[in-house]
Chain A
Amino acid sequence: MAFDKTEVEKVAQLARLHISDAEKDEVTGRITDILALIDQMQSVDTDAVAPLAHPLDMTQRLREDDVTESNRRDELQQLAPEVEEGLYLVPKVIE
């Protein structure tokens, strides 16, 4: 599977990253090399193998549906770049 500059643009958009024109060639080349490393997996037949998503053979624990978190909005919003009256501010979305 060829990974070209068009793919870089598409993936960067999905990941919400900006790749400048100057960087595009290098990024394409590096990712192509990484994909070549990854593609070594394709040499093994795994048709009969079940995927392993997680190393522990365990089931998710359940807990009572109780409120365990306190309201720390003001404290947490101190970390935000821009807030107003308890709301997070972002650039205008609706005209």
Chain B
Amino acid sequence: MIEKTVAELSGALSRGDISSVELTQAYLDRINQYNSTLNAFVTVCEESALTQAAQADAARADGLTSPLLGIPLAHKDIFCTSGIKTSCGSKMLHNFIAPYDATVVSRFNDAGAVMLGKTNMDEFAMGSSNETSYFGPVKNPWDTDRVPGGSSGGSAAAIAADLCAMATGTDTGGSIRQPAAFCGITGLKPSYGRISRWGMIAFASSLDQAGPICKSAEDAALMLNAMAGLDTKDSTCADVPVEDYTADLNNSLQGLRIGIPRQHFAEGLSPEVEQAVREALGVYEKLGAQLIDIDLPNNHLSVSAYYVVAPAEASANLSRFDGVRYGYRCDNPLDLEDMYKRSRSEGFGDEVKRRIMVGTYALSAGFYDAYYRKAQKIRRLIKQDFNAAFQQVDIIIGPTSPHTAFTLGAKTDPVAMYLEDIYTIAVNLAGLPGMSVPAGLANGLPVGMHLVASDFAESRLLNVAHQFQLNTDWHRLRATAFEEGH
């Protein structure tokens, strides 16, 4: 049962094949069995999960039928959860217990979902391998010597090992899509503004977006239905009508125009990954879609522009961690200045400090135009590239990552790590919805296919992903060591 999708579990719960308490206990047992190997969860909420599950069963007995009622989920530890620790993968917040729920968390609670716990992540979501977490790296279920990707690595590994039915993530430059690709699962980064950021610890405010990490496109649609929509507590949350994201899943792809960006199939792409993605594109051709070569001429500048914009915003957002109101404070400060500096230097890890430094430098007097303003101009060019492409095509498809999951400790050079997100980062700069779905294996490791749609076209994106999953079984594949009953 634990390997089933949310859609399937929802059916099983409504038929009475299983209760939410039984299902929740099954996942808690899985977590108990495998978390010491994977390190996917940083907090497990056994007691409150079973209470929520019993409440869900009672609500169902009273006639309630929400699709997520009684479905066990995990939240990335970046979402504030009332009364339960929210660490953001950092020593800075190792003891932080928020006095409120993030909007995303409230919405899942309102839908009757059961929270199993909080998942591990790169510190403050800064990383592409989950190795910057203060709580140690997450292991990839496909090969525990390899990284799960990042920053939502805990959520991705938890889904891939069936430790939960659905999970949340956040994506600032690829943090949902790249771990989804590395772990062989489905991940969606919605359009900027589609989901409220309230209560989601900020990294880069003009780029961060929450989204579903799950086992199928259909599940992503069910989750998005619960997550999306206007929230007056987040002034950047878009006032755009929420659709039923399951409504278009079964639309035909006959005549669909798929853009294939030349820049995403160029130097640097592993031949095995390219082959898997090209074969996946063949599936779309059989479904009646048309493949059209397109150009995203400024894509190669996306990583450069991102590493100005994201650190600049991060340096401002993380200035709130001063050791005064919450979070880590150093021992025996000499004076106020010493307290600020040592609390921040001892509380933050190396990568976070590096990005704060880069962002501070880019915003400092004399460099603002050369860095921050320049990056914003490049951002415009990147957005224009996508606008032009969507005049020609309905969707853009390529690889999510240039290669499959790499080994732990293999990338010690920050710049090499940054280039991991070469295919995903431009989507955040442009604010578009993007998705990664499993598209095959290369040397026994999952390959992710990256789909991008125009602003707020999540229904189209999910339709195109769902049709692929109706015609392939890659999303059902599990690492042998984590198959049920193994």
Contacts and interface: CB of A to CB of B under 8 A. Distances in A.
From A15, A60, A81, A92, name the one whose CB has the most chain B CB atoms within 10 angstroms: A15
Given A15-B315, A34-B354, A63-B232, A56 B376 contact: no
A38 B357 contact: no
Interface residues of B, number: 73
B431 A56 contact: yes
Given A17-B344, A81-B329, A52 B304 contact: no
Interface string A2-44: 0100011011101111110000000100110111111111101
Interface of A: 1, 3, 7-8, 10-12, 14-19, 27, 30-31, 33-42, 44, 46, 49-56, 58, 60-61, 63, 72, 75-76, 78-82, 88, 90-93
Contacts of B418: 34, 37
B380 A31 contact: no
Contacts of B329: 81-82
A18 B342 CA distance: 6
B429 A15 contact: no
B99 A72 contact: yes
Given A54-B206, A76-B99, A27 B357 contact: yes
A59 to B, nearest CB: 11
Interface of B: 96-97, 99, 192-193, 206-207, 232, 235-236, 238-239, 298, 300-301, 303-305, 307-308, 315, 319, 322-327, 329, 333-342, 344-345, 348, 353-354, 356-358, 360-362, 364, 367, 370-371, 373-381, 383, 413-415, 418, 429-432, 455
Q: Binding site of B, secondary structure by majority: helix, strand, loop or mixed?
A: helix
30 contacts: A8-B357, A14-B360, A15-B315, A17-B353, A31-B354, A33-B414, A34-B307, A34-B414, A34-B415, A36-B415, A37-B303, A37-B415, A40-B300, A41-B301, A41-B378, A44-B378, A49-B377, A50-B380, A51-B373, A51-B376, A51-B379, A55-B192, A55-B429, A56-B455, A58-B238, A75-B99, A76-B99, A79-B96, A79-B326, A93-B335
A75 B99 CA distance: 7
A42 B236 CA distance: 30
A91 B334 contact: yes
A49 B325 CA distance: 42
Given A33-B413, A44-B378, A18 B345 contact: yes
A51 B377 contact: yes
Nearest to A34: B358
B341 A38 contact: no
B25 to A, nearest CB: 33
